[in-house]
Chain A
């Protein structure tokens, strides 16, 4: 399946992917309205450490330990390989946060559920908006 992969040495640390993620998942079509004055809760997060920058989001693991560990059946792996969370079923226990080796599942701002990247299959973009707007190809969406 196509996944998002990181080219660490090309990442500028601009954090634009985080804003594009928040915009894509806002349900709005105007970026200013979606983001201006708001605290964003992106599902992709950039780490900055000195000269090193890179983005991290869900790896959509083949044997997804978050899915196996979910106590409510809210996490599932679709036939397309995408790991999804049904926030309506999720009770926010954060077992998935405890087991994800990448730190790519996070508490949702509501406090009652977890959230994660679903490769923009759950919004109007259809394809990862973070990748589309990365200015330096530091994240790519492809088969590997």
Chain B
């Protein structure tokens, strides 16, 4: 059996592990345009922060490829899938035949059209290790940085570089930071903490135009800068599957086995859609845990085993300078808030189940909440008043606890 995997990050590596759980011998080839052994992609900000290094940020031990008998074609771009002939065409024309193919091509930064951006010097994205290495080269205590986008990527970049430059300003069209995962009150707590560290925010604002390395905002404000980081958003890399005739919506469409509409072609990770069980909507959940579980599921199925990934949901764990923001699920229904100082907790309940939550600086045992969301546990079966105060297993019925703590799980 010949397995080919396009993409060498979490989903691709998980696919190898899934394949090898079933098939010890099949030939596995990984193709990636990145020239590096797999690294924890979200660790690039920790790299700049000095909280990890090139060796420690390896996603798997250095002997991973050899041990799993993987041929890794790194620094090589896959240009085309010929689904009828079951082969991948590389840049340069080489053809790699497959019996089963995984597309784990991830996503790429989205850059909205902005007047004058072509004339900006020192412009970066913040998606890959190469982006971080390039950015690192120009960092210095004399430099002022402007980040466009106060989302997860923009703010992790901010954390990574804040102590290494003179100033960091962040512009976002949204009226709050981390708009996709926080509400106004939760965002205000995190914003206060970041401003305390020296970050400057320009919210409900955007760049009208650049003149050289000066940003003119819609509000009329001007921000001169030395370095620009564009972190507005990402777009899934769906073209290979689309051009081969596979079904693509917002991301590559797959079933629960991660199979695409193309025979013997699977997809996983940030290029693929998931069915979010908390909202009931198909969407791209560009999150590492999701990528891993999709990739592993694909690998098992590609190798002839049986696996389904049927409980995807939004999950975010992000922190800045020692603070922690943990969120999960969908923010629908009745909400319950507890706020005190830097701690902010909010729960969303609908139809008798916990749909989602926001925990700012209150991380302990948060997975108990996540599990309630994922399992759609009827809140009538647990002591939710007690759980609202603090996550605990005593709030569950004795029989449920026995299944958790007195049996193999």
The chain A residues found within 8 Å of chain B, CB to CB, are 3, 5-8, 47-49, 52, 54, 56, 59, 61-62, 65, 68-69, 71-73, 88-89, 91-103, 105-107, 111-112, 144
Contact = CB atoms under 8 A, between A and B. Distances in A.
A94 B317 contact: yes
Contacts of B408: 3, 62, 144
Interface string B362-388: 011111101100000000000000100
B289 A69 contact: yes
Chain B CB within 10 Å, residue with most, of A95, A100, A111: A95
Given A8-B405, A97-B367, A73 B59 contact: yes
B60 A103 contact: no
Nearest to A4: B405
A72 B404 CA distance: 27
A56 B391 CA distance: 13
Contacts of B59: 72-73
A97 B394 contact: no
Contacts of A102: 367-368, 393, 404-405
Contacts, number: 137
B405 A5 contact: yes
B355 interface: no
Contacts of B366: 94, 97-98, 103
A103 B402 contact: no
A71 B43 CA distance: 8
Interface in B48-75: 51-52, 56-60
B296 interface: yes
Nearest to A57: B405
18 contacts: A47-B392, A47-B393, A47-B394, A54-B394, A54-B401, A68-B292, A69-B288, A71-B40, A72-B46, A73-B40, A95-B317, A96-B367, A98-B316, A98-B366, A98-B367, A99-B315, A103-B367, A106-B364
B190 to A, nearest CB: 15
Interface in B338-366: 363-366
A55 B366 CA distance: 17
A98 B406 contact: no
Contact of A91 (B43, B58, B292, B406): B43
Contacts of B407: 5, 144
B364 A6 contact: no
Nearest to A68: B292
Contacts of B404: 59, 101-102
B318 A93 contact: yes
Contacts of B368: 101-103
A68 B315 contact: no
Given A71-B288, A144-B407, A49 B394 contact: yes
A49 to B, nearest CB: 4
A72 B366 CA distance: 19
B14 interface: yes
Given A92-B319, A112-B51, A56 B363 contact: no
A28 to B, nearest CB: 26
B162 to A, nearest CB: 16
Nearest to B326: A98
A96 B364 CA distance: 11
Contact of B405 (A56, A91, A93, A94): A56
Given A6-B405, A59-B405, A73-B40, A68 B367 contact: no
A56 B368 CA distance: 12
B257 interface: no
A91 B273 CA distance: 28
Chain B CB within 10 Å, residue with most, of A59, A73, A100: A73
A89 B42 contact: no
Contacts of B51: 91-92, 112
B289 A7 contact: no
Contact of A103 (B41, B292, B391): B391
Interface string B317-329: 1110010101010
Contacts of A5: 405-407
